[in-house]
Chains A and B, each alone.
Chain A
C-alpha cells in the first residue's frame, strides 16, 4: 500500500508537469484553433536555454531559470506566432500541422547539433532529500514540483477568471466575433495566449528536466504525454487538461511498476484509444458542434 501511495504521489508530480504543457496546448487550441505538434519540443528547449546560460554565461541556477523562461516567451511565444503561425493565416489546419511538425524536427536537430546529443543532468529546485510520512517516502523535489505546478495553475486560473484581460482572453476563445464587437482587442489576446503557452512550456521544461534529464529527443515522449493529457481531459477545457495531465502521470507510473517498464511509452496510446472509444469529448470536455 505504501508503494502504491508513493507511486501515485510521484505520478501526480510528473502529471502536474504534463498538465502545465497540456493547458498551454488547450489554450492555443481554444483561441487559434491550431494544434502545436512541436509542443513536446517546446517542453524540451527551455531547459537547454538554462543549461546554455549556466555553461556559456556562467549564470547561477536561479538566474538561468529566469533567462530560460524569458527566452522561451520570446522565441516560443512571439517568435513562434510571428514566424510560423501568422504566415499561415487563412490556410486550413493541415498547413499548421505540417509546419509545426517541421518545426519540431528543426528544434530537435538544432539542439542536438548546437548543444549536445547526450542527456544532460539538470539541477532540481529543491534537493532530493527523502521525507517520510507514516511510511510513505516522498522526496522534497517531488513536493517542490507539486507546489510550483499548483501555484502556477492557481495564478493562471486567477488571471483568466478574475482579471479584465483574462476574461477578455476567455471571451476571445469562446467567440472571437462577438468579442471583437464588444471591443476586445482580439489580436492582443491571441498574442497573450501564445506568451502564456510559451511560459507554461518553459515552466514544464524546468520542472521535468531533473526527472528525465535534458535531452534533445525528449520532445517525442513529452509531447505525446501532453497531447494525450489534453485529449483525455477534454480538448476544450483548461480544467480538463489539469485532470488529464494528472491521470496520465499516475497511470504511467503505475503501469511502469505493475505492468511493464518496456511498454511504459505505450500507455498514452492505450488511454487515447479508450477515451476515444468511450468518451470522445474527454473526461471534462463538452461536445463541439461542427459548423457548415
Chain B
C-alpha cells in the first residue's frame, strides 16, 4: 500500500488537471489538441456518472461486505426524481439533486432494515426483487413516469449564471460533482464511522464484541451507497436528456457488481477503474455486435478466481517490492486475497 500512498496526492492533482483539460480544445493555448467530439464527451461523462454509482456499490460491498443487486434501480429512482421535479414542477436543480439522494437513502433504509435483520445473502435477494419491482413501476405507472415512452427534455442546470447545456460545460459540471462526492466518500471512510467498516469487514464477530453495532452500520452503508446511486441518477438524467425504463432494469444492476470486482473491491479508486472498463468495453466491442456482455462476464469469472482484488489489486501486487507472500490461515487462496479471505469468518455454518 505504501508505494501507492506516497504518490497518491500529487498523482490525484495531475489526474484531475488532465481530466479537466483532456476533452477541451487546447489549440488556443498553442497545444495541438482539438479535444473530444460530442460523443467522446458523452462517453467520458457517462464514465464519471457510472463511477459515482459504483462508489456506492463499493461502499456496500467492498467496505460493508454486503451485496446489492439494485444499484441501477436506485439510479432510476434518482433519474426519475430529477426529471419529474425539474420538468413538471420546475424545482431548482440542486434541490432536486438533494431530493434524489435523500429519497434513495430513505428507500435504502426501508429496504435494508428487514433484509439486514437476517444473516446470509438476504440483502442480495431483497434488492434483486426490488430491482424487478422498480422496473415494473417505472414501466407501468405511465401517468407519472411516461411508461416505456419515458420523459423527454430533461433540462441541464444553470449554475451561477453558467449554462451547462454545451456538452463540454456539462462534462466539467459532472467532473466537479464527482470530485465533491468522492471527497465526501473519502471523508466518510476516514471518519470513525468509516473506520468501523474496516473493522467490520476484517472480522465481524470481533467488531461486534468491541461494541460496534454491526447491523446499523451495515444498514447505513447500504443507505449511503444507495443514495450515491440516486445522485448518479440525478446527473444521468440531464446527461442523456431523455430517460426510459431500460437502463434501470435488473441486468444493468448486476453490471455494477461486476465493475466493482474488475476495478478492485474495497479500493477507493476501484469504482473509477471498474466503471471505465464497464463503460468502455461495450464501446470497444461494438464491432462484435452483442458479444460485449459475454466477454465481460468471462473476464469477471476468470478474475474472481485468479485476481479477486481486481485490476488495482494486481497493480498493487506489481508495485509492492517482492516479498514472500503472507500465507493466510484460512488455507490456499489464489492471488493475494487477504482482504477477501478474512471476511470468510462471516460464513454461516449449520
Interface residues of A (CB under 8 A from B): 30, 33, 35, 37, 84, 87-88, 90-95, 97-99, 101-106, 109-110, 112-113, 174, 220-221, 224, 227-228, 231, 235-236, 262-263, 265-266, 268-269, 272-273, 276-277, 280, 288-292
Contacting residue for B129 out of A91, A93, A228, CB 8 A: A228
Task: Check B294 against A94 for contact (C-beta < 8 Å).
Answer: no
Chain A residues with CB under 8 Å of B331's CB are: 90
Residues of B within 8 Å of A263, CB to CB, are 133, 136, 140
Residues of B within 8 A of A92 (CB): 340-341, 343-344, 346-347
Chain A interface mostly helix, strand, loop or mixed? helix
B298 contacts partner chain A, Cβ-Cβ < 8 Å:
yes
Tell which of A91, A94, A220 has the most Cβ of chain B within 10 Å.
A94
**Given that A33-B348, A90-B332 are known contacts, is A224 also in contact with B114, CB under 8 Å in the complex?**
no
Residues B305 and A224 in contact, CB atoms below 8 Å apart? no
B49 at the interface (CB under 8 A from A): no
What residue in chain B is nearest A223 (Cβ atoms)? B128
Q: Bin chain B's interface residue count.
A: 35 or more
CB distance B349 to A33 under 8 Å?
yes
CB-CB nearest 5 A-B residue pairs: A269-B129, A106-B297, A87-B305, A102-B300, A92-B344
CA distance A291 to B334 in the complex (A): 25
Q: Which B residues lie at the A interface, using CB under 8 A? A: 61, 65, 67, 69, 114-115, 117-122, 124-126, 128-130, 132-133, 136, 140, 205, 250-251, 254-255, 257-258, 261, 290-291, 293-294, 296-298, 300-301, 304-306, 308, 330-334, 337, 340-341, 343-350
**A227, B125: Cβ atoms closer than 8 Å:** yes
User: Given that A92-B341, A103-B301 are known contacts, is A98 also in contact with B121, CB under 8 Å in the complex?
Assistant: no
Q: Are A95 and B129 in touch, CB under 8 angstroms?
A: no
Q: Give the contacting residue for B205; candidates A95, A272, A273, A292; CB below 8 A.
A: A292
**What CA separation (Å) do A94 and B123 show in the bound complex?**
12
B residues less than 8 Å from A268 (CB atoms): 129, 132
Query: Would you call B128 and A227 a contact (CB within 8 A)?
Result: yes
Structural contact, B341 and A90, CB atoms closer than 8 A: yes
